[in-house]
Amino acid sequence: MPSNYRGRLAPSPTGLLHIGHARTFWIAAQRAIESRGTLILRNEDLDPQRSRAEFARAMIEDLRWLGIRWSEGPDVGGPYGAYSQSERRAHYLEAWRRLREGGFLYPCTCSRKDLALAASAPNDADNDDEPVYPGTCRERKDAADLTEPAGVNWRFRVPEGEVVEFADLNLGRQRYVAGSDFGDFLVWRRDDVPAYQLAVVVDDAAMRITEIVRGADLLKSTARQLLLMRALSHSDRAYVNLAYADRGHGGSGYASPDYFHCELVRDATGARLAKRHDALSIRHLRESGLTPEKVLEMAGWP
Ligand SMILES: [Zn+2]
């Protein structure tokens, strides 16, 4: 009899999985097994420019080769599908509508160049890709006039100065200040692609995920996603609470899954292993004759 634990593997098919991914996914799989829970595979192929079907096939093969097993996913189906984000647009659109109607969003027409000029500090390479948005379009009043998201960027208005705290099961208490650690972030792109933050929150709720295991590079995104979850549950209280009602979270504001962020795998010089290190792709290591055990050992497991 499986427990209520539901975890997920959520790779993007924009390249080959590398040993940094292997470690995180292995930990996610072990935690699901230890909890006698359910593990799902979600194919995060939202970006049509960067996602490739051959990488999606490769990631499924490589995860299986490592010995990771899931019981719901794009290849095996399940009760909360579709399990590929490119097939879930209706869910994201519904969330976009709710947020817009709740007054949480505004359209932003700043160019990349405007944003680059406004960026005050260089980004911390370890953490985040996105400079704090300077707020140029914040006071726009035309959100209600736009009934479809395409054509402009849409940003979530963060509550300036609010402290977002959460207890990470691996890294302990985390604390971020909205408006200074991160700014108004994208939820929908002008090329009509839902942004990562929105898609993840919508999918984790819809797929009844109870624990999120992922890399520490996403800690700050967790703070953003907690604000999104709350906004979605305010505009319709049932939205998030429904997902977690069977965990006894119902009724008390918004509920979130648990978080377990994994330390990032680094090379001998302390630099983070990035996707572009082709030589460290699981595929390459496998073809060069290494066993799954050896690859996991290289990834720092246990
Ligand atoms: Zn703007």
Contacts 24+ apart (CB under 8 A), 168-174: 168/219, 168/222, 168/259, 168/260, 168/261, 169/211, 169/258, 169/259, 169/260, 170/260, 170/261, 170/262, 170/263, 171/216, 171/219, 171/261, 171/263, 174/219, 174/222, 174/223
| Residue 112 in this model has a pLDDT that exceeds 90 | no
What does 19-43 look like in DSSP terms, one character per residue?
HHHHHHHHHHHHHHHHTT-EEEE-B
Checking if the pLDDT of 121 tops 70, the result is no
pLDDT in tens, 14-68: 999 998 889 999 999 999 999 999 999 999 999 999 999 999 999 999 999 999 9
As a whole number of angstroms, the distance between CA 8 and CA 28 comes to 7
- For 206-262, write each residue's pLDDT tens digit: 999 999 999 999 999 999 999 999 898 864 444 443 333 334 443 333 468 999 999
pLDDT of residue 244: 38
CB 188 within 8 A of CB 202: no
Return the structure tokens found at 266: 């680094």
Dihedral, 50, 56, 62, 63 alpha carbons, nearest 10: 110
- Rounded to the nearest angstrom, the distance between the alpha carbon of 130 and the centre of ligand 1 is 14
Residue 18 CA, ligand 1 centroid: distance in Å: 35
CA of 112 to the centre of ligand 1 (A): 10
- In the structure encoding, which two tokens stand for residue 233, read together? 């549950």
The per-residue pLDDT for 241 is: 37
By the CB criterion, residues less than 5 angstroms from ion ligand 1 are 108, 110, 136-137
For 68-98, write each residue's pLDDT tens digit: 999 999 999 999 999 999 999 999 999 999 9
What is the model's pLDDT at position 155? 97
pLDDT at site 283: 94
Q: Which backbone phi and psi does 189 adopt, to 5 degrees? A: -95, 155
